Amino acid sequence: MNAQNSTDLPYYELPEYSNAYTAGTVTGRLIDGLGFRYYWATEGLSDTDLEFKLGDDTRSTLETMAHIYDLSTVIKDAALQVPHTKETLKKALTYCELRALTLNNLKTASDIFKQQTDLEAFNMVFKTPNGNNTVPFWNAINGPVADAVWHCGQIASFRRASGNPINSKVNHFMGTVQK
């Protein structure tokens, strides 16, 4: 399962916070918080955890991870100021691939936003067959960012229900891991 060394991935712990409160540093920190929660919600999942679902008509943990990955691409594309297109993957991504790509998408977005003071130009642009649909960045906060946090909570609950709770040494409030 843990083919990729988790220490190579961002968000084992939260990065240091900025000395200044700007639109960009606050947005970056919000994304960092999501990255930290995702890191620990998805760390060390077993096949049983990945297959867990509440019912036949619900997503499994792995399918929820794929959804969070999709949300992370929307966030990253807004940061890069490029139109978002729904990726059509030629193959299903593995647990390790999904985890790494999602964490790196969040890190990329956070790093870009932290350099900004004004987020007016960072709209979400969705490329559709009928042209581009532009949505203000405000919707990124209550849309893909909040949705991804929500789903991290689902994964944390699913893994507890499947017998593999999150590491008890993780301090979500401080963004650290007790040694």
Q: What pLDDT score was predicted for residue 31?
A: 98
How far is the C-alpha of 36 from the C-alpha of 105, rounded, in Å?
13
Q: What pLDDT score was predicted for residue 127?
A: 93
As its CATH architecture, domain 20-177 has Up-down Bundle (1.20)
Tokens 């790494």 locate to 100
3-state secondary structure of 44: coil
How far is the C-alpha of 104 from the C-alpha of 137, rounded, in Å?
20
Q: What pLDDT score was predicted for residue 3?
A: 43
How far is the C-alpha of 54 from the C-alpha of 109, rounded, in Å?
32
Give me the sign of the Cα torsion angle 148, 152, 157, 162.
positive
Helix axes 23-42, 95-114, angle to 10 degrees: 160
Q: What pLDDT score was predicted for residue 87?
A: 74
Low-confidence ranges of the chain (pLDDT < 50): 1-4
pTM of this structure: 0.94
Q: What is the DSSP string of 56-93?
A: TTS--HHHHHHHHHHHHHHHHHHHHT--B-----SSPP
Q: What pLDDT score was predicted for residue 4?
A: 47
Helix axes 23-42, 61-80, angle to 10 degrees: 160
Answer for the pair 78, 109: CB distance below 8 angstroms, yes or no. Answer: yes
Q: What pLDDT score was predicted for residue 88?
A: 65
How far is the C-alpha of 2 from the C-alpha of 92, rounded, in Å?
17
Answer for the pair 155, 99: CB distance below 8 angstroms, yes or no. Answer: no
pLDDT digits (tens, 9 = 90+) for 108-150: 999 999 999 999 999 999 999 999 999 999 999 999 999 999 9
* 53 CB burial (10 A radius; 0-12, 13-18, 19+): middle
Q: What pLDDT score was predicted for residue 89?
A: 66
